[in-house]
């Protein structure tokens, strides 16, 4: 929604778009509850099916407004399909929607399976082993564990590839063997990962991270490299191929074992690559394609969007105002977890992009040609 645009104007714009491009069938994919009033009215007016894709424990963000919980409850009850990315989210959503479908995140296996040469990496001159991480470095980043490892292994290099403005890295940036590289485009990540000897997910354990299904785990798996990660519910199933830790001391010891493995990769590397091949966005597409195909049509409610009550207009307008407020909070990048940014927004956009592509594939399957929207 554009800054300053009202809810009714956004509603009218989508209605006009549907007529202009003759969009007769579409799926309204909602990933943040505050869009519920607008999405519901569009679904009623156009007969489009409404899908709630729950990716996060929204209460873990400072952007969680007063109306978010109420919006989410209506969204859960009224959606044609509810998706959850993690088991914890699935358990919570099941209280209202026993038919919730868990669709974890996935990885772009091809993007990471064939890495460039180490010599071509911006990290190639770092002293090995290189302990690597990419993603946002925000309030959920386990600074204490990384500091402990960097202090105890001064001869190792710690490469942090990601935006640090959302969190306090403390004295990490002043340590001689810690190298912050800043945020890089997704397309460039493989050339950085090429120089990693060990891949890491050093997260603090919070309600937010406990409900997170990290996209990067499948990207790391595609490389075959050893992985050390915080013991989180969504990573527990992979404990036989990654090292999980709880404390800074456990993090260091897990890294020491992983460094030894990096010198002589064994069967675990093949298992990790196999998991990456099993957990692709194409695999998720097949699951969603089957479920979308079973969704019943939603009936249009004549005049639902145009001749609506003032209360309906007010609800959409209030959410438009709330979304603009959230956008303002997000722009305050210095507030760490209070911004819905960093790894959460990056992964949300990645998932949204993949689901958009799934929608395109479903549309082609149904209509046969890319330009036939009628």
155 and 255, same domain (yes or no): yes
CATH number, position 143: 3.40.50.2000
144 and 191, same domain (yes or no): yes
184 and 333, same domain (yes or no): no
Distance between first and last Cα of the chain? 26
Could you say which of 278, 308, 332 is where a domain stops?
A: 278
CATH number, position 304: 3.40.50
Are 56 and 211 in contact, with CB atoms under 8 Å apart? yes
Could you say which of 263, 278, 293 is where a domain stops?
A: 278
Are 115 and 194 in contact, with CB atoms under 8 Å apart? yes
Are 141 and 163 in contact, with CB atoms under 8 Å apart? no
Residue 4: CB atoms within 10 A of its CB come to: 8
219 and 116, same domain (yes or no): yes
Q: List the one residue out of 61, 59, 15, 65 whose CA is nearest residue 35.
A: 65
129 and 245, same domain (yes or no): yes
Could you say which of 278, 305, 336 is where a domain stops?
A: 278
Q: Rg (Cα) of the chain, in Å, rounded?
A: 22
Task: Count structural domains, the chain.
Answer: 2
**What does the pLDDT read at residue 340?**
37
- Domain-embedded: residue 2: no
358 and 254, same domain (yes or no): no
249 and 349, same domain (yes or no): no
301 and 225, same domain (yes or no): no
Alpha helix (H) ranges present in the chain? 7-20, 36-46, 68-78, 87-93, 109-113, 143-152, 189-193, 207-210, 215-223, 248-263, 267-278, 281-294, 310-331, 342-367
28 and 160, same domain (yes or no): no
288 and 202, same domain (yes or no): no
- Domain-embedded: residue 205: yes
- Domain-embedded: residue 374: no
Q: How far apart are CA 264 and CA 255, in angstroms?
A: 15
- Domain-embedded: residue 373: no
Locus of tokens 């519920």: 36
- Domain-embedded: residue 228: yes
Residue 176: CB atoms within 10 A of its CB come to: 8
**What does the pLDDT read at residue 164?**
81
- Domain-embedded: residue 225: yes
Q: Are strands 81-84 and 101-102 parallel, antiparallel or unpaired?
A: parallel
Contacts of 126 (CB under 8 A, 6+ apart): 157, 159, 179, 195
Domain that holds residue 222: 109-278
Residue 116, token pair as written in the block: 């460039």
317 and 197, same domain (yes or no): no
Residues of the chain with pLDDT under 70: 1-7, 58-66, 166, 301-374
- Domain-embedded: residue 144: yes
**What does the pLDDT read at residue 278?**
97
DSSP string, 315-343: HHHHHHHHHHHHHHHHH-GGGGGGSS-HH
235 and 289, same domain (yes or no): no
């Amino acid at each position: 929604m554009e800054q300053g645009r009202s809810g009714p104007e956004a509603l009218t714009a989508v209605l006009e778009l549907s007529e202009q491009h003759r969009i007769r069938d579409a799926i309204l994919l909602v990933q943040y509850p505050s869009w519920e009033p607008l999405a519901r009215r569009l679904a009623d007016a156009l007969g489009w099916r409404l899908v709630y894709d729950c990716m996060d424990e929204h209460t873990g963000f400072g952007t969680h407004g007063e109306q978010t919980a109420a919006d989410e409850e209506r969204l859960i009850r009224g959606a044609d399909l509810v998706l959850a990315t993690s088991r914890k989210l699935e358990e919570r959503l099941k209280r209202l929607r026993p038919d919730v479908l868990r669709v974890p995140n996935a990885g772009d296996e091809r993007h990471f399976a064939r890495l460039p040469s180490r010599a071509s990496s911006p990290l190639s001159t770092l002293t090995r082993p290189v302990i690597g991480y990419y993603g946002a470095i925000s309030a959920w980043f386990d600074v204490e564990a990384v500091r402990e490892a960097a202090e105890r292994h001064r001869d190792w290099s710690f490469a942090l590839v990601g935006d640090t403005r959302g969190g306090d890295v403390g004295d990490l940036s002043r340590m001689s063997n810690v190298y912050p590289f800043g945020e890089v485009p997704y397309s460039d990540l493989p050339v950085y990962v090429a120089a990693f000897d060990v891949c890491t997910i050093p997260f603090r354990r919070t309600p937010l991270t406990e409900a997170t299904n990290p996209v990067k785990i499948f990207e790391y798996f595609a490389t075959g490299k050893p992985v050390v990660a915080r013991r989180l519910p969504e990573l527990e199933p992979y404990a036989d191929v990654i090292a999980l830790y709880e404390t800074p001391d456990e993090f260091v010891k897990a890294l020491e074992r992983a460094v030894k493995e990096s010198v002589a990769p064994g069967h675990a590397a093949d298992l990790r690559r196999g998991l990456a091949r099993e957990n692709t966005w194409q695999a998720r597409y097949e699951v969603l394609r089957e479920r979308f195909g079973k969704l019943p049509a939603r009936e249009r409610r004549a005049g639902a969007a145009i001749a609506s009550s003032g209360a309906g207009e007010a609800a959409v307008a209030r959410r438009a105002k709330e979304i603009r407020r959230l956008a303002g909070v997000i722009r305050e990048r210095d507030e760490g977890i209070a911004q819905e940014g960093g790894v959460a927004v990056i992964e949300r956009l990645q998932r949204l992009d993949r689901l958009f592509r799934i929608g395109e594939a479903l549309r082609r399957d149904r209509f046969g040609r890319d330009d036939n929207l009628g």
